[in-house]
Amino acid sequence: MSYSSLKACLDNLEKHCHLIRIKDEVDPYLQMAAIHLRVFEHQGPAILFENVKGSKFPAVSNLFGTLERSKFIFRDTLNKVKVLVDLKSDPLKAIKHPFKYANVGLTALSALPKKVGQNAPISFGKCKISDLPQIVNWPKDGGPFVTMPQVYTEDADKPGIMNANLGMYRIQLAGNDYVLNEEAGLHYQLHRGIGVHQTKANAKGQPLKVSIFVGGPPSHPVAAVMPLPEGLSEMTFAGALGNRRFRYFYDDEGFCISADADFVITGTVFPHENKMEGPFGDHLGYYSLKHAFPLLKVHNVYHKKDAIWSFTVVGRPPQEDTSFGALIHEISGSALSAEIPGLRAVNAVDAAGVHPLLFAIGSERYTPYNDERKPQEILTIANHILGTGQLSLAKYLFIAAKEDDPSLSVNDIGGFLKHILRRVDLTRDLHFYTKTTIDTLDYSGSGLNSGSKVAVAVAGAVMRELWTELPAGLEFPRPFEKYRMVMPGILALEVPKQVRYSDSPILFEILEEHLKEADLDGLPLIVLCDDAAFTAQNLNNFVWVTFTRSNPSHDIYGIDSFTENKHWGCKGPLIIDARIKPHHAPVLEKDPAVEKLVDKMGEKGGPLYGII
């Protein structure tokens, strides 16, 4: 089905019971976000807030809250677009299977962006930044943010829509030192196309023109987050997925305007002009802190007559962006394997915040004539993964050989970890990358964008059976008095909060002195944590705590460790220090008073009764 606008999509969702309306006035400060989080938690419908306090514009969230709803929205085009992306990654398929790909040419042609006529600007009115819904999601956020933006920029060397970039980079509308209605914060991270565009504009000494689209057909925000094959533009993809060409025009100041967007904010970013942006409660489950990011000088704020503001809420996963990720994998799952030879499957583990933890399966075919199996080809694949787009932001990469277990799945956290831990050779299989780049939002490292990585590449026969419980008589020295088995082979060992991070080397010496003579082969991984019961409660807690709170080069230890020709390994268990450190960002916590208000909305007669 083709949607010409966000409203058309919402009307269709409501007709099929995929949307609820909240008519009561709702406060954009924390309350709207709290409602969204609760409805998402219950896998509820999209939410249309008709009466936003302080704004004349309604707002919608949770549009992509479930994969099922996303598939419903794109039910007529999803399969065609999957074929298009698949073909783009391997054009020879069209020659090998001409009948299968017969309609792809028509799909691609109908997706070409369409410049519309002179009457298009008439459909837009103007307002100010302060007229927009001032939505604040978390108590310590630095101000209201645009959380579902489509940020459009053009290449200074090759201007025009076909070489433009459309990305989803958060925008801070107010707060901090921003001049209200005149300035906004533009936050973007590593490996984003907008960075290339700003670099080129800076080199020419000219401002970068930025257009921020909000709303519009649902294919547009999906295009903004889609990791597309080289040469396939986001606007073309939006047209193909939405079965409607991306319509655009340029305003009198030369800014590109999406003719179907509900709102468009235009502005310029001047070379080397930054202001402090943040804090912002982000998708790792912590706040990203204040840092200097590009300053957007606002020119105009356009809106349609019946405009609807679109937003989302991020926090500790899973959240709506988890469903976004599932949709992306649905569309492009095969493209990545085609790009990296030998790669069979990959999963950026959402429960661990995506970039901190990556599972992969690759082929191990280099030396089939040898009886001894060891990591070889999968090491090549690991290096390729860590040099590919946003996959390069992975901090912990665990990669296994498909030949060891053809049924192994990267989506089974427990099963995959069990496979790794039964086979890993801790003297050989850990490969560190120090003083390198990590995710901008990850504060486990030594500074913004800075930290380390480790690739754990495992191939070969089973080396050990994993303990399901500690053997009788095994005890830990003080101060390690609380511990829990997380799963076979993994122990969560609690460290009292009064023990300082600076004392970690001493702490480890105590532990190693006590354990170095013990046979711990069935326990290859010990995680030091602040709360053993919480960490071991479920695997989602375990991967979130372990991989968001540790920096491999600084926080990995091992019993009976050694360095041989600059290669580090250990003969006993691996130990990861996953405590919250002094330099870490605060954990996201909800406001109790606002939560009570949402509780009441879920009572009989309330707008959320039967939903939460």
The residue among 86, 189, 65, 183 whose CA lies nearest residue 130 is 183
Question: What is the rounded radius of gyration, in angstroms, for the C-alpha atoms of the chain?
Answer: 25
What are the angstrom distances between the C-alpha of 60 and each of 241, 309, 606? 21, 6, 19
Query: What is the predicted pLDDT for the residue at 477?
Result: 87
**Is beta strand 574-577 parallel, antiparallel or unpaired with respect to 556-558?**
antiparallel
Question: What tokens were used for 387?
Answer: 């040099």
Query: What is the predicted pLDDT for the residue at 572?
Result: 94
Contact 239, 166 (CB under 8 A): no
Q: Which amino acid is at 24?
A: D
Query: What is the predicted pLDDT for the residue at 87?
Result: 64
Query: What is the predicted pLDDT for the residue at 97?
Result: 53
Q: Is the pTM of this model over 0.85?
A: yes
Burial class of residue 281 (count of CB atoms within 10 Å of its CB; 0-12, 13-18, 19+): buried
Using DSSP, state whether 118 is helix, strand or coil.
Answer: coil
- Residues for the chain: how many in total? 612
Question: What tokens were used for 292?
Answer: 């200097």
Question: What tokens were used for 261?
Answer: 């967007």
Contacts of 598 (CB under 8 A, 6+ apart): 31, 34, 35, 38, 608, 612
Q: Enter the DSSP assignment of 587.
A: B
Contact 47, 38 (CB under 8 A): no
Question: What tokens were used for 209?
Answer: 């023109």
Using DSSP, state whether 536 is helix, strand or coil.
Answer: helix
Query: What is the predicted pLDDT for the residue at 95?
Result: 46
Give start and end residues of each alpha helix (H) in 90-148: 93-96, 104-110
Q: Which amino acid is at 318?
A: P
DSSP 262-310: SEEEEEEEEEEEEEEE--EE-TTSBEE--EEEEEEEEEEEEEETT--EE
Query: What is the predicted pLDDT for the residue at 529?
Result: 97
Question: What tokens were used for 55?
Answer: 């704004």
- What pLDDT digit, counting tens, does each position of 232-269 carry? 789 999 999 999 999 999 999 999 999 999 999 999 99
Q: Which amino acid is at 349?
A: V
Query: What is the predicted pLDDT for the residue at 192?
Result: 67
What are the angstrom distances between the C-alpha of 247 and each of 4, 243, 335? 10, 12, 27
**Measured in whole angstroms, how far is the alpha carbon of residue 460 from the centre of its chain?**
32
- Which residues in the chain land under pLDDT 50? 92, 94-96, 98-99
* Residue 318 preceded by cis peptide, ω within 30: yes
Output the CA torsion sign for 261, 265, 266, 272: negative
Using DSSP, state whether 367 is helix, strand or coil.
Answer: coil
Q: Find the Cα–Cα–Cα–Cα dihedral 543, 549, 553, 554, rounded to 10°.
A: -140
H, E, C per residue of 153-212: ECCCCCCCHHHCEEECCCEECCCCCCCCCCEEEECCCCCCHHHHHHHHHHHCCCCEEEEE
**Measured in whole angstroms, how far is the alpha carbon of residue 576 from the centre of its chain?**
23
DSSP 465-478: PPPSSPPTT----T
Output the CA torsion sign for 303, 308, 314, 320: negative
- What pLDDT digit, counting tens, does each position of 340-378 carry? 889 999 999 999 998 999 999 999 988 777 878 899 999
Q: How far apart are CA 161 and CA 159, in angstroms?
A: 7
Give start and end residues of each alpha helix (H) in 18-112: 31-41, 67-73, 78-89, 93-96, 104-110
Burial class of residue 82 (count of CB atoms within 10 Å of its CB; 0-12, 13-18, 19+): middle
Q: Enter the DSSP assignment of 385.
A: H
Query: What is the predicted pLDDT for the residue at 532?
Result: 97
What number of other Cβ atoms are within 10 A of residue 272's Cβ? 8
What number of other Cβ atoms are within 10 A of residue 541's Cβ? 19
φ and ψ at residue 93, rounded to 5 degrees: -60, -35
The residue among 232, 233, 229, 213 whose CA lies nearest residue 221 is 213
φ and ψ at residue 118, rounded to 5 degrees: -70, -20
Q: Domains along the chain? A: 6-310 (2.30.110.10), 331-458 (3.40.1670.10), 483-577 (no CATH)
Q: How far apart are CA 586 and CA 285, in angstroms?
A: 9
Contact 287, 182 (CB under 8 A): no
